[in-house]
A and B are shown apart, each in its own frame.
Chain A
């Protein structure tokens, strides 16, 4: 069977049937397992499932920032027959969710729990500097780290990318400010968000540099919290408590010399060729697989650890052209009630840093129509799409 037909066979065959979250906060005393348990039990209750119904784990958790799948399974008393583990990195959110759907569709599991649990305030030494084990690798870490020259912290890669983007396209810091300001407006409508007070352009301009050209408000929260998402077959989903949210389309992570994790293709960071890279059909398989046009997307969710990543993701999926996103996000376009609301819970910038799973939980709640004052009206289609090119398209 050709790949296109195999993809189409997976369309709308799996669904998210339960979501749960722990409390989000900074300096929470709980362990990751304690936070993860709250999220897991909440997701089971939400779906009307029992622990015994979960036979798969796709966890976005693990060394050096958490426990591994087997510890989770034995701690929670699970009987697991399919596990996928990606360690704690936002880049692996999509992989975990996709593996869950693929395992269910292939019949390797009935119900897979995707779980992440972060306690960044207890482990912030790992996020840059001498204790950042991943960032100390030979030839640098996974976000362009090069500790020999003081290039450290994942944000260093985002800063390098945005510095080049500014020079190449004339984007400005004031334009970038529209991203954290819009997400803060979303967060103001979300009681679970950690940062809810308004963010003004004046406050943004007056805030301190961390790695110039990024200011403190361009940084995600260093916070604690856990999320759990339950994936099962569409047949099983029909019998459960919630209106299922179907996984309609997906595309995988991109990697190679044309890619830098925190910059769009063609920007010219590390060894990327420099070219204006308008996405081609081959870059946008998520829409083709779902049979849904990009114009139908009611809200967009992305990994917003650093505000430039939002711009890069919007360009990556063709919502605007290369170099255009900084202008495109002005005028409330991605904020509440905008043409394309982005990260409507407040995201990592204002709600909490749960690796991005808080955005998956949010879009499921949105597609159920359960978001109260921040509900996107008449919502049918929502997209998770990352700056590194992977994506899942959902509909209700």
Chain B
């Protein structure tokens, strides 16, 4: 269980692939902010990131901060460690969160007991600094 040693081992789980399309998301996460691409013409946030608004097909885009609030729209519990680096976490939760602004993100949970996992559970973003360069947005239960 190298991940639980007193001297923390290097982070062994997969890290995001930073691309020109998603770089602002990960830069904002590092600042503990949740940013998504936003279309100025139809005033909506969208996901996944890309060079054009999927609704109006215009390119007047900017990245904007979101509330970070949403509800769990689906959840699963992994009982098998396809990634050896996740073996110590079994069973671990993966959730989809429907954000107040509309888009759904696939994510993980922080301090959220598995017996509270439910579709519709109000959650809010929390940030997990996993390496000096990478912070993962995850979600925890919201205290309304």
Which residues of A does B touch, CB under 8 Å? Answer: 128-130, 132, 136-140, 144, 146-153, 156, 159-161, 163-164, 167-168, 208-213, 257, 268-271
Q: Are A163 and B136 in contact (CB under 8 A)?
A: no
B94 contacts partner chain A, Cβ-Cβ < 8 Å: yes
With A161-B74, A163-B74, A164-B73 as known contacts, state yes or no: A151 contacts B80, CB within 8 Å: no
A-B contact pairs, 30 of them (CB 8 A): A128-B82, A129-B82, A129-B83, A130-B14, A130-B83, A136-B14, A136-B17, A138-B16, A139-B21, A139-B22, A140-B106, A146-B94, A149-B94, A149-B106, A151-B94, A160-B74, A161-B74, A168-B119, A208-B79, A209-B79, A211-B76, A212-B78, A257-B54, A268-B74, A269-B74, A269-B104, A270-B106, A271-B46, A271-B47, A271-B104
Please report which residues of chain B, range 97-144, place their CB below 8 angstroms from some CB of chain A when the two chains form the complex.
Answer: 98, 103-104, 106-108, 118-120, 136, 138
Chain B residues near A257: list those with CB within 8 A: 54
B86 contacts partner chain A, Cβ-Cβ < 8 Å: yes
Chain B residues near A130: list those with CB within 8 A: 14, 83-84
Among B89, B94, B118, point to the contact of A167 (Cβ < 8 A): B118
Closest chain B residue, CB of each to CB of A165: B74
Complex Cα–Cα for A167 and B77 (A): 15
Complex Cα–Cα for A147 and B81 (A): 12
* B contact patch SS: loop
Interface core residue of B15, B79, B89 (most chain A CB under 10 Å): B79
Q: Beyond the given A146-B107, A151-B94, A167-B119, please list 14 additional residue pairs across the A-B interface where CB-CB is below 8 A.
A: A139-B22, A139-B48, A144-B106, A146-B106, A148-B13, A148-B14, A150-B108, A164-B73, A167-B74, A210-B79, A212-B78, A268-B104, A270-B96, A271-B104
Complex Cα–Cα for A147 and B15 (A): 8
Q: Are A150 and B80 in contact (CB under 8 A)?
A: no
Closest chain A residue, CB of each to CB of B48: A139
B63 contacts partner chain A, Cβ-Cβ < 8 Å: no
Complex Cα–Cα for A153 and B49 (A): 23
Complex Cα–Cα for A132 and B89 (A): 20
- Please list the 5 inter-chain residue pairs (A to B) with the smallest Cβ-Cβ separation, ordered nearest first: A129-B82, A167-B119, A128-B82, A147-B14, A164-B74
Complex Cα–Cα for A138 and B16 (A): 7
B91 contacts partner chain A, Cβ-Cβ < 8 Å: yes
Q: Are B15 and A153 in contact (CB under 8 A)?
A: no
